[in-house]
Amino acid sequence: MTQTQLLRAMFEARGGRLTLGEILTLSESMKTYLAASYRQRLTDLKRELNIEGKTIVCYPNHKDGHKSETYWQIEDLPKPTVYAEPSGQMAFVIR
């Protein structure tokens, strides 16, 4: 299993949400080097999820200087809306 697949499995096992502390703890217990390269693995996973219409959103939550409270969550990408203006021009809106 690649590190990106491992990271995806971690997200799936926790309902699509992980904290940095969980990434570090889980990768340590699984004897992987994911913790050292989690940023690159998140980027790789984000590329994969983009094809599926999803993305990873970071919600920073630093308490007393600890990053472990920050979490990442897999979410659906916003759906674009296309409509015609009264002038006949097409409008493209992301909500």
**d(Cα 3, Cα 10) in Å, to the nearest integer?**
10
- Look at residue 72 and give its three-state secondary structure: strand
> What is the reported pLDDT for 31?
60
User: pLDDT for 17-34, tens place per residue?
Assistant: 988 778 777 666 556 665
For the chain, what is the domain count?
Answer: 1
pLDDT tens digits for range 59-90:
887 677 665 577 889 999 887 777 777 887 87
Is pTM beyond 0.85? Reply is no
Of the segments 43-52, 58-67, 86-95, which one has the largest average pLDDT value?
Answer: 43-52
Residue 23's pLDDT is: 77
Torsion of the alpha carbons at 3, 67, 54 and 32, rounded to the nearest 10: 10
**Angstrom distance (rounded) from CA 41 to CA 56:** 12
**Domain, as residue range, for 38:** 3-94
